[in-house]
Structure 1
Amino acid sequence: MCKTCCRRDGLAVKSPQGFTLVELLVVIAIIGVLIALLLPAVQQAREAARRMQCSNHLKQIGLAIHNYASTHRVFPSGYVSQTTRDGSGPGWAAIDTNTWDAAPGWGWGTLILPFMEQRVITDTLRMDRPIWDPANRDVISNRLESYLCPSSSGENDSFTLRDQSGNALTRYGDPIRVGRSHYIASHGQESCWGECGSATTGLIFTDIYSGTTKTVAIHGNAANVADGPFYRNSHVSFRDVTDGTTNTLFISEHTSKLSDKTWVGVVPGAFTHPRYSTPENGPDAAATLVMMHVGPSGGELDITGSPIIHPMNFPTLHVGQMYAEHPGGGNVLMGDGSVNFQSETIDLILAAELASMNEGEAISSRGL
């Protein structure tokens, strides 16, 4: 009788057979190949969705900024610090005598909340008092999804502000915790963080075209330095953006994987600390909690002594630069409310041109 069949009722019945080892291995190999082909496509689809969500967040921020400007005739300040030239303010003495940062400290992210469908928070905040006032303590640590990029692999929850040494910054005996943001406002090419106090000797700035330098006396007024739309106590209107809002960077991404940022504002004495160490990197003053710059900027040089321009994802890894975790670049909000994807391979001079609002690069020989 055949080994593989037997007779039953005069019929030949085939005996059941299982998979051979070779067949099983072939099936496993095919499944593995299919998974290997499918996973990148799934990951790309997920990242495309996250990037679109991030873009929508920036569009919402852009609409809020424009609605703020329609109401107040100016764009929101980078942050509000009620100091005068001698470092004093109405009812509050300047706490940080190096930067002249003082109360109340509310940043652009807080100022536009009424136009971000966050009226409940703004009605709860005591904006007539400093950020760190006990009456504001519970509200300023709120997590606001509209200020978070879903592609950021860093933290999303509130964080404790730290001083220059890295210790928790306290007011009224308690650490100050603030809500996180993955979006920061543009100070322009120039920065004015720790140097923007009572310095009278000025800072040296380098022109990106000619290489010539100039010295500017600050006298505590960031407007003497800033060439972007957001800085301390800024009151920039549409007519001040002479390069054109289409050609001027307003808001950019900054992942919390690089450093901590907040929607709340600036607390005098706070410092932003980098999570990566590079030759050009280190803790920077409180203004970098809400703002960034692109460079070149006075006093910011690389290890060769050359001015630094750091567009999206530049390897300086500064606490005061643009940085996103989308493949190839990151989203930026322009002054006209449009959201563009800035490639990390963008021309350095072009990136610097887009950062300033009134230096004439929009009609330069580059044809911008």
Structure 2
Amino acid sequence: MDCLVEIKRVVNHVSPHRAGFHRGSACGQPILRRAMTLVELLVVIAIIGTLMGLLIPAVRAARASSKGVTCKNNLRQIGIGLEEHLGHLGRYPVDGKNGYGACAFLLPYVEQQALYAQLKPTESERPAIASNASLGGTAIATFLCPTMESRRQTVLKLGRASYLGNRDLFPWNLPQTVIRDSKSETIAMGETLAEQAWILPGTAEAIPPGDDSTFGSRHPGGANFVFCDASVRFISENIDPVTFLALCTTNGGEPTVER
């Protein structure tokens, strides 16, 4: 009886805003538990905010790094496809043949045989848009850098290409023997920010990465390029223009050491 009276007295004198009750004592008496103060709550919030501030940039950096790796893998596949095309036909793809871009002729070498069979770019006598606009709207992952905001062109809605061929290499139906500079020092294709479609012709001139109409990327500081030996490199936007020109020529004999 005395125990019940004591419990009632404690309940009547303890504010529920300052303490909580947990019925677990041996004699039935309540155990008082102190609630979190405002200062402690603010400290916890501050710690969480600090951790978020550290984690968010790290997550962004990891995503950017992952996109860069995917982009390089795409270019490596394209480079291998170019080597296979060269081995099969004795030349590189002709950008502009029958109105098609070089990427259209690379389709069977980048695991797109079914699309190539439907497209038939070597047999067409009409421009690509007129004869195969619907097929041209196909988005092909190998031709797209993950940093590309849209998988299709804004106006024509054709499948975009994040990569352009080196103008000194593709339009001329070149055999391998014409590349007298080292294949490991001659650019085959590189990233572009232009609204290029993979089905349509398009090459870039020897201007260092940064220009939206030629070579360039959304990767900070430069762009990725695949060379004629299928190797892939990131080239700084601050590269010496003369050095970059040397990397783009096929028969110049220029030195290619960055200055």
| Length-normalised TM-score, structure 2 | 0.83
The corresponding residue for 1:218 is none
The corresponding residue for 2:104 is 110
**C-alpha distance in structure 2 between counterparts of 1:155 and 1:133, whole Å:** 19
Aligned residues: 239
**C-alpha distance in structure 2 between counterparts of 1:9 and 1:243, whole Å:** 90
Superposed CA deviations along residues 246-301 of structure 1, whole A, max 9, x for unmatched, are 1111100113xxx31011124xxxxxxxxxxxxxxxxxxxxxxx21112xxxxxxx
Candidates 138, 141, 144, aligned match of 2:137: 141
Distance apart, 1:32 and its partner CA: 0.7
Q: CA RMSD in A?
A: 2.6
Task: Describe how 1:234-313 pairs up with structure 2 within 5 A.
Answer: 234-255=172-193, 259-266=194-201, 290-294=202-206, 310-313=207-210
Quickly say closer, same or farther: Cα 1:11–1:117, change in 2 above 3 A: closer
Structure richer in helix, relative to its length: 2
What runs of 5+ residues in structure 1 fail to find an aligned partner? 81-103, 162-176, 188-227, 267-289, 295-309
Q: In structure 2, what residue type is equivalent to 1:181?
A: A
Candidates 59, 67, 71, aligned match of 1:54: 71
12-21 vs 336-345, which deviates more? 12-21
Candidates 151, 167, 184, aligned match of 1:156: 151
What runs of 5+ residues in structure 2 fail to find an aligned partner? 1-8
The corresponding residue for 1:350 is 243
Aligned residues of 1:126 and 1:135 also touching (Cα < 8 A): no
SS of equivalent to 1:342: strand
SS of equivalent to 1:112: helix
SS of equivalent to 1:346: coil
SS of equivalent to 1:35: helix
Distance apart, 1:45 and its partner CA: 1.2
Distance apart, 1:9 and its partner CA: 7.3
Q: In structure 2, what residue type is equivalent to 1:252?
A: G
The corresponding residue for 1:225 is none
Task: Describe how 1:74-223 pairs up with structure 2 within 5 A.
Answer: 74-80=91-97, 104-127=98-121, 128-132=124-128, 134-152=130-148, 154-161=149-156, 177-187=157-167
Identical residues among aligned pairs (%)? 28
SS of equivalent to 1:138: helix
Distance apart, 1:181 and its partner CA: 0.6
Give the greater-gyration-radius structure (CA): 2
Q: In structure 2, what residue type is equivalent to 1:333?
A: V
Q: Does 1:334 align with 2:231?
A: no
Q: In structure 1, what residue type is equivalent to 2:46?
A: A
Superposed CA deviations along residues 276-329 of structure 1, whole A, max 9, x for unmatched, are xxxxxxxxxxxxxx21112xxxxxxxxxxxxxxx3122xxx341x211111222
Q: Does 1:359 align with 2:252?
A: yes
SS of equivalent to 2:147: coil
| Length-normalised TM-score, structure 1 | 0.60
Distance apart, 1:359 and its partner CA: 1.1
